Structure 1
Amino acid sequence: MAKFVVTKNPQFTHKVKVQVPVNGGFETQDFDATFNVVPTDEIGEYDLSSGPGSTDFLRRAVDSLSDLVDEKDQPVSWNDSVRDLLFGQLYVRKALVRAYFEAVSGAQSGN
């Protein structure tokens, strides 16, 4: 068993699965997200049930996203414009918030 490492600004990267709406249903797509660990006492400052609150939380919690592509399957670099576009999509916000809390709480998908 590894020893616990005390880290001042912990980060972790997890695969995020997004249920993307398509004609007649959904398609599961994924990307990698690098998250900053948000201190527990700070999480209460965010209204995760509202669009603005969850977006503010994600601006704090998400360091970067990778493994993104455009409609032509070309790589998309992480930048403020991409961040704002993705955080503005409800299904992306929900997937990111879910992935963050599953990761920090140790819950497995489906639980």
Structure 2
Amino acid sequence: MKFIIAEVQSRFNYIDNWKVSYQTLPVWLKAIIAKMLRSLAMAQDGNQNIVLITFAIVEGEIGDAWEFFLTNLRRYIVTRDGMGIISNHYNYIDAAIARSNRTWSPPRA
């Protein structure tokens, strides 16, 4: 992380603290979405496959939070069938999927 911070500071002459960065994050995300519609964070695995990454800031690892996350994931991000979910929080996810009115049932996911 310290190398990324140093690179941003040297390349863009930008210095900020975590509190200010956290407060301005929604503005930056809206600008990115406006510029690149349907954009999403992504990573690359060891086999050079592109993997989409999604996240949400919620009150905790509880069923309602997972239901909120999965509902919005399905509504705005996962818009085609045949998608998979990988997580180590399967109890919460199973409960949220059971309450999802079959929006995550095969062949959808």
Q: Shorter-normalised TM-score: what interval?
A: under 0.3
Relative to its length, the structure with more strand (as a share) is 1
Which protein has greater RCO, CA pairs closer than 8 Å, 6+ apart?
1
| Pair member with larger Rg | 2
Relative to its length, the structure with more helix (as a share) is 2
State the TM-score, normalized to the length of structure 2.
0.28
